[in-house]
């Protein structure tokens, strides 16, 4: 299984490599950050931390946004989990609907089993002697 670069690895990459991952050349990076090409060239020696984090996020690595997303990334229009599962936008939009169906089925199952044990047999009542 392919392991994706960690945020620590990405933040130590040269700025040119990060810009390449983010699909930006020097001129596009300068325009994107509202700086001159000369500033971008100066950043090559020691880029600001926020610029590095922003470039890693632009490259699709979500860990730069929050560590809860470690290993997750955006690839095209899909979300790729840390275990390599690809999730499309439609699947994410369907989650609330699927959750409501599952909750309804659980309620239905509980009502059906009310007063019975797990295999559907009546629960014996305690008898007083």
pLDDT surpasses 70 at 127: no
pLDDT: is 68 or 33 the higher one? Answer: 33
Is the predicted pLDDT of residue 115 greater than 80, yes or no? no
pLDDT class of 34 with cuts at 50, 70, 90 = very high
Is position 123 within any domain? no
Chain CA centroid to CA 54, Å: 16
- How would residue 123 be classed by pLDDT, with cut points 50, 70 and 90? low
Burial of 107 (0-12, 13-18, 19+ CB in 10 A): exposed
Q: Are 85 and 76 in contact (CB under 8 A)?
A: no
pLDDT (tens digit, 9 = 90+) per residue, 46-98? Answer: 899 889 988 988 888 888 777 888 888 888 888 888 888 899 988 888 888 88
Q: How far is CA 66 from the centre of its chain?
A: 9
Give domain status of residue 22, yes or no: yes
Range of the domain at 60: 7-75
The pLDDT-based confidence of 2 (bands split at 50, 70, 90) is: low
Residue 106 lies in a domain: no
Q: What is the mean pLDDT of the chain?
A: 83
List the single range of 30-34, 60-64, 122-126 with lowest mean pLDDT.
122-126
Domain count for the chain: 1
- Is residue 27 a part of any domain in this protein? yes
Q: What is the pTM of this model?
A: 0.60
């Amino acid at each position: 299984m392919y392991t994706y670069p960690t945020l620590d690895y990405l933040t130590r990459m040269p700025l040119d490599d990060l810009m390449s991952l983010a699909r930006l050349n020097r001129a596009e990076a300068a325009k994107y950050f509202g700086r001159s090409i000369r500033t971008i060239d100066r950043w090559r020696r020691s880029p600001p931390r926020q610029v590095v984090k922003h470039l890693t996020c632009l490259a699709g690595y979500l860990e730069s946004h929050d560590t809860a997303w470690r290993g997750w990334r955006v690839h095209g229009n899909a979300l790729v989990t840390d275990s390599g599962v690809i999730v499309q936008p439609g699947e994410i939009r369907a989650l609330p609907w699927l959750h409501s169906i599952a909750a309804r089925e659980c309620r239905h199952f509980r009502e059906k089993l009310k007063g019975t044990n797990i295999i559907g047999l009546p629960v014996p009542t305690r008898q007083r002697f």
